[in-house]
């Protein structure tokens, strides 16, 4: 059972200050605020070991099929994920939405997340990976889209270490910057980061930290690059061809 393997992995890999996942993407560990200290991985391990016996009551005994969906801010990840979920039966987990949900909960962690999102920076890996891991666990899905994650190499390493698996495929929406800016400024959903100052920072972070993740998975033959210009329906035709050819 892949979850049981995760419990074992967590127990085998206690957090250490030199662990790559123990620091945020942008700053070295000794610059962390107290609230950014790595979340207790022991707590995660306890969570997993206490749930390990739940296999018998409906949990999937196989690792889910995981697709990471990457692309610059405003490239259309969320729009396309909604269509993939509806046509191909995937559960859509948006890392950004999970973080915004945590902000809306009013937790202390939410305050830190809000501050980081306003600056267009990347939330510490342990926070995001824990939210994703819990959402995967609760959805109990066998096909999962993880939208907008991993944002940086450290996110990637933390996910693979904590969840104990790699994505099966990576979808990359390739979109010119001017088109992304136009879409974000027209989105009108009241997001705190959809203003030109933060958008410029998000684009820089995307180029410097997210593209290396795409390159990493490209070198492992996992990336499907899609031209993200044109209408949403035109783009979805290219997406549909990829998902139709997969064997889940």
Ligand X SMILES: Nc1ncnc2c1ncn2[C@@H]1O[C@H](COP(=O)(O)OP(=O)(O)OP(=O)(O)O)[C@@H](O)[C@H]1O
Ligand Y SMILES: O=c1ccn([C@@H]2O[C@H](COP(=O)(O)O)[C@@H](O)[C@H]2O)c(=O)[nH]1
Q: List the 65-71 sheet strands across, edge first.
A: 91-94, 143-147, 65-71, 169-174, 223-227
* Cα 114 versus chain centre, distance: 17
Q: Which residues bind Mg ion (CB under 5 A)?
A: 78
User: Which range binds ligand Y by CB under 6 A, 3-11, 62-70, 92-100, 239-247?
Assistant: 92-100
**Does the footprint of ligand Y cover residue 116 (CB under 6 A)?**
yes
Subset of residues 94 to 123 that bind ligand X, contact rule: CB under 6 A: 96
151 is in an annotated binding site: yes
**Of positions 148, 150, 164, 167, contacts ligand X by CB under 6 A:** 148
Q: What is the largest CA-CA distance in the chain?
A: 51
Q: How far is CA 112 from CA 95, 106, 159, 240, in A?
A: 16, 11, 20, 38
> Within 210-239, which residues bind ligand X (CB under 6 A)?
231-232, 235
Of residues 76 and 124, the one with the C-beta less far from ligand X: 76
Per partner kind, with CB cut-offs from 5 to 8 A, the member of ligand Y, Mg ion, ligand X, none near residue 71 is ligand X
Does the footprint of ligand Y cover residue 203 (CB under 6 A)?
no
Q: Tell me the window of 13-21, 44-52, 112-120, 240-248 that interacts with ligand Y (CB under 6 A).
A: 112-120
Judged by CB under 6 A, which of 60, 187, 200, 220 binds ligand X? 187
Annotated binding-site residue? 134: no
Closer to Mg ion by CB, 46 or 183: give it.
183
User: For binding to ligand X (CB under 6 A), which residues are involved?
Assistant: 71, 73-79, 96, 148, 183, 187, 231-232, 235
Which parts are annotated binding residues? Answer: 74-79, 100, 121-123, 148-151, 155, 187, 191, 202, 230
Which parts are annotated binding residues for CMP? Answer: 155
């Amino acid at each position: 059972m892949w979850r049981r393997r995760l419990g074992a992995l967590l127990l085998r890999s206690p957090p250490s200050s030199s662990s790559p996942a123990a620091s945020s993407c942008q700053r070295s560990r000794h610059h962390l605020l107290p609230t950014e200290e790595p979340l207790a991985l022991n707590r995660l391990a306890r969570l997993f070991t206490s749930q390990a016996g739940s296999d018998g009551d409906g949990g999937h005994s196989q690792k889910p099929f995981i697709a990471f969906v990457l692309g610059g801010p405003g490239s259309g990840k969320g729009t396309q994920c909604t269509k993939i979920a509806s046509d191909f039966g995937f559960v859509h987990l948006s890392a950004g939405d999970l973080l915004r949900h945590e902000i809306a909960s009013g937790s202390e962690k939410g305050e830190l997340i809000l501050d980081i999102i306003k600056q267009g920076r990347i939330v510490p890996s342990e926070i995001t990976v824990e939210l994703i891991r819990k959402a995967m666990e609760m959805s109990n899905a066998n096909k999962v889209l993880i939208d907008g994650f991993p944002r940086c190499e450290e996110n990637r390493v933390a996910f693979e270490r904590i969840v104990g698996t790699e994505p099966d495929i990576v979808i990359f929406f390739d979109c010119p910057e001017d088109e992304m800016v136009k879409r974000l400024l027209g989105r009108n959903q009241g997001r705190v980061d959809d203003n030109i100052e933060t958008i410029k920072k998000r684009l820089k972070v995307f180029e410097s930290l997210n593209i290396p993740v795409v390159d990493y998975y490209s070198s492992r033959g996992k990336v499907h690059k899609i031209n993200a210009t044109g209408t949403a329906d035109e783009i979805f035709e290219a997406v549909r061809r990829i998902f139709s050819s997969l064997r889940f």
